[in-house]
């Protein structure tokens, strides 16, 4: 939409049409918010020689104990080679356990070990603390709106993974 696209609209209608400048500000806010959201976990991970790929793997293995390598590949959208490097490190360091499938022996099911659960707890506590503070500052309507915006930005295939995770917990 052109720069002045919201002019002449009133009330609710004007909120549906954002200028390029308003969108740019939203994009920049997302970049800086992401930096803040990942800063605390990045410090914890750096002490152990891990990166964000390790964090994402730990997060989703925690959320779905017993998930398969194939499912994790689908959720993370990374190459098999990249995920194998991450998983090899996490397994060697005693944070993740890989078990052979009982129905299909070709499948590998992933579980966090006690040490993996402890690291996941450290990482998620830091992020929950930051999100809790932001949500409190923004208020309940903003929280609901923020979730709607994030869900609307998801690719349909990833939204199905997200919805499956949401359905597996009591919200």
CATH at 53: 1.10.10.10
- Long-range contacts for 163-170 (Cβ within 8 Å, ≥24 apart)? 165/63, 165/64, 168/63, 168/64
Tell me what pLDDT residue 49 has.
96
User: Alpha carbon of 115 to those of 48, 68, 96: distances in Å?
Assistant: 12, 20, 8
Query: Cβ-count burial of 7 within 10 angstroms (0-12 exposed, 13-18 middle, 19+ buried)?
Result: exposed
pLDDT digits (tens, 9 = 90+) for 20-44: 999 999 999 999 999 999 999 999 9
Residue 144 lies in a domain: no
Tell me, yes or no, whether 116 lies in a domain: yes
Q: Find the mean pLDDT for residues 79-93.
A: 96
pLDDT of residue 94: 98
C-alpha 48/C-alpha 68 separation (Å) is 25
- The pTM of this model reads 0.80
Q: Number of folded domains in the chain?
A: 1
Q: Is the pLDDT of residue 9 over 70?
A: no
Domain boundaries, position 58: 34-138
């Amino acid at each position: 939409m052109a720069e002045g696209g919201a002019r002449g609209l009133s009330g609710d209608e004007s909120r549906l049409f954002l200028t390029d400048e308003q969108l740019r500000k939203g994009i920049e806010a997302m970049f800086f918010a992401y930096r803040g959201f990942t800063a605390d976990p990045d410090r914890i991970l750096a002490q152990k020689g891990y990166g964000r790929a390790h964090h994402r793997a730990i997060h989703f293995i925690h959320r779905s104990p017993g998930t398969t390598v194939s499912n994790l590949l689908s959720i993370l959208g990374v190459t098999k080679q990249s995920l194998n490097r991450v998983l090899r490190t996490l397994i060697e360091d005693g944070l993740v356990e890989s078990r052979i499938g009982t129905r299909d022996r070709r499948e590998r099911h992933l579980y966090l070990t006690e040490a993996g659960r402890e690291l996941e707890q450290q990482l998620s506590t830091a992020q929950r603390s930051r999100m809790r503070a932001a949500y409190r500052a923004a208020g309940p309507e903003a929280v609901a709106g923020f979730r709607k915006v994030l869900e609307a930005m998801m690719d349909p295939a990833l939204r199905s993974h997200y919805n499956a995770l949401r359905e597996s917990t009591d919200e």
